[in-house]
Structure formats: structure tokens, C-alpha cells
């Protein structure tokens, strides 16, 4: 039986206008009240999604969120880390060299703020993130000497198409590269994705992936969809996600696809 539900946000739980439908909210609240763990899984920091956590009632002592695409597992109320991993400035040097040579932007994120790299072309990440997170522009050489969660290239989709084609085999080996949105390309530690954070959280509760149901639509959801006992691709998901999913929702993210699937899967609990 499913004990935990993991949910991607953009184009999965959220409508395209970045809101959660009343149907999704009501269904998830009912399952949470019945003892099912509901876990949001995102590339964003927790402060950027706090409104969604409150809306869903995920504010008890046993509620956690997977942030930064798995690099930080955080308790929702205390903001204490259950597990954390990342990369150093040195680790990002090959990526910086690539971006500078090819003419791409780069933002480097730790677990509290974003550092737009000023010795590269301008990024659109600030405008896209639209979150309460500090942006502190820095030259790459002046980045703090501490752990970072990821780096992102944020620019026009057509430019990122070119960047993906230009990535060298060495860069693909060094980083886990995911296209989380058409205008955002993310670079994580090579062994990092949402399934890593979920594995740590499942272990915390004494469970394993057979106890997990995961919903997603894009490249950065692939790991958790493949690992979950029930990996659910949205109707609007990328073909590669649908290919590895156990099930596919009958409705897309704009028509409460998550809730409609849950109503069938948990018909007894929700009756």
C-alpha cells in the first residue's frame, strides 16, 4: 500500500498559472489527514513554495519537502535539514569555462540565495523564479567557499537547445543535467536527483520505494518516476517520462490530473 505521495510542482500539481486547483487541494488534504505522507519535490527552495505547503496543510512535525531537486531534504516547520549534499565552487569551474566560451548565462545557488555570475551574459533566472530568494551578483572567482545546491542556465529555449547540443561528454559525466523547463537547464551533482532525496526520506520513516507513489512530467522527475512503486506520468508529460511510468493520468495538470488519479487509487480512503 502507498504510504507516501511525491509530487512535482510545475506542469504536474500546479496549473499552468502556478496555482493548485481546489480539487487537488481537497483530495491531498483528505489523504494527508488519513495518514498518507504528501511530499512536494521541487528544484526551488522551501521559502519559494511555502504558500503551497500552507494551502495543502503540510505543516506538521512529520512533514518534509524535497528541495533543490533532491539536494536538500527539509522539515517544513523547523526548516532543519534531514539530509543535504551539493557541489563546491571548484566543481563548477568546468561549467563556468564552458558558459564563458560559448556565451551562456549561469546562476549558482546555495541553499539560501542565488548568485548570478556577473562575468557571463545576463540571465533571466530572476524573472523566471519569481520567489522570495535573495539574488547576490558575483564574479565567479568571488563566489563563497561553501556548498552549493546546483547551477542553472536560464535563457531563451532556442539558446538552451544549442547549449544542450554543445555539452561535451565530460560535462555530461561530471553533472546530472536536466531540462526542468524549456528556459531552464540545471546542473546538479552527477548522482543527484529527486529520487536521492526521497530515498533518504523513505529511510527516515522506515519505508522503501515500494511504498512510494510519485507524480511528474519532465526530465527532473525521471529518477523518482522510475524508482517509485507507482510512478505516475501526467497526461501532459514528456514522452520519455511516460515511457518509464507505471501509469499515466487521464487528465493533464490543468484539469486536476493528480486528484483524478488519486480518487481511483485511494477510492476507499476518499469515499
Q: Are residues 123 and 74 part of one domain?
A: no
Residue 182 and residue 94 share a domain: yes
Do 167 and 181 lie in one domain? The reply is yes
Residue 246 grid cell: 507505471
Q: Are residues 244 and 265 in the same domain?
A: yes
One domain for residues 170 and 113: yes
Q: Average pLDDT for residues 193-219, to the nearest whole number?
A: 97
Of the candidates 189, 212, 243, which is a domain's last residue? 189
Residue 180 is predicted with a pLDDT of: 86
Question: What is the spatial distance between Cα 179 and Cα 222, in angstroms, rounded to a whole number?
Answer: 11
- Are residues 201 and 67 part of one domain? yes
The whole model's pTM is what? Answer: 0.89
Please indicate, yes or no, whether residues 185 and 252 belong to a single structural domain of this protein: no
User: In the structure, what pLDDT confidence band is assigned to residue 86 with cuts at 50, 70 and 90?
Assistant: very high
pLDDT at 116: 98
Domain match, 184 and 201 both:
no
Domain that holds residue 235: 4-84+192-270
Cell numbers given for 85: 549534499
Catalytic residue list: 8
Residue where one domain finishes, among candidates 139, 171, 189: 189
Co-location of 167 and 221 in the same domain: no
Mark whether 163 and 229 lie in a shared domain: no
**What's the CA gap between 127 and 217, in Å, rounded?**
23
Confidence check: pLDDT of 47 > 90: no
What total number of domains does the chain contain?
2
Distance CA 227, CA 78 (A): 28
131 has a pLDDT exceeding 80? no
Give the pLDDT band (50/70/90) at residue 28.
very high
Amino acid at each position: 500500500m502507498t504510504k507516501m505521495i511525491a509530487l512535482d510542482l510545475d506542469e504536474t500539481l500546479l496549473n499552468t498559472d502556478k496555482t493548485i486547483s481546489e480539487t487537488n487541494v481537497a483530495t491531498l488534504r483528505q489523504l494527508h489527514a488519513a495518514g498518507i505522507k504528501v511530499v512536494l519535490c521541487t528544484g526551488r527552495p522551501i521559502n519559494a513554495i511555502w504558500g503551497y505547503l500552507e494551502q495543502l496543510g503540510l505543516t506538521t512535525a512529520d512533514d518534509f519537502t524535497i528541495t533543490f531537486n533532491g539536494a536538500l531534504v527539509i522539515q517544513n516547520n523547523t526548516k532543519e535539514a534531514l539530509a543535504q549534499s551539493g557541489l563546491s565552487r571548484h566543481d563548477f569551474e568546468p561549467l563556468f569555462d564552458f558558459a564563458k566560451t560559448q556565451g551562456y548565462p549561469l546562476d549558482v545557488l546555495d541553499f539560501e540565495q542565488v548568485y548570478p555570475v556577473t562575468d557571463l551574459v545576463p540571465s533571466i533566472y530572476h524573472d523566471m523564479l519569481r520567489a522570495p530568494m535573495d539574488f547576490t551578483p558575483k564574479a565567479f572567482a568571488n563566489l563563497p567557499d561553501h556548498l552549493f545546491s546546483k547551477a542553472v542556465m536560464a535563457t531563451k529555449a532556442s539558446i538552451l537547445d544549442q547549449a544542450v547540443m554543445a555539452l561535451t561528454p565530460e560535462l555530461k559525466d561530471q553533472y546530472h543535467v536536466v531540462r526542468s523547463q524549456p528556459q531552464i537547464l540545471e546542473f546538479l551533482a552527477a548522482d543527484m536527483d529527486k529520487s536521492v532525496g526521497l530515498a533518504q526520506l523513505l529511510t527516515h520513516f522506515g519505508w522503501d520505494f515500494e511504498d512510494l507513489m510519485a507524480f511528474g512530467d519532465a526530465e527532473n522527475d525521471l529518477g523518482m518516476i522510475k524508482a517509485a512503486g507507482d510512478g505516475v506520468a501526467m497526461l501532459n508529460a514528456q514522452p520519455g517520462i511516460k515511457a518509464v511510468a507505471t501509469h499515466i493520468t487521464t487528465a493533464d495538470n490543468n484539469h486536476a490530473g493528480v486528484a483524478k488519479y488519486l480518487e481511483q487509487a485511494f477510492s476507499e480512503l476518499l469515499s
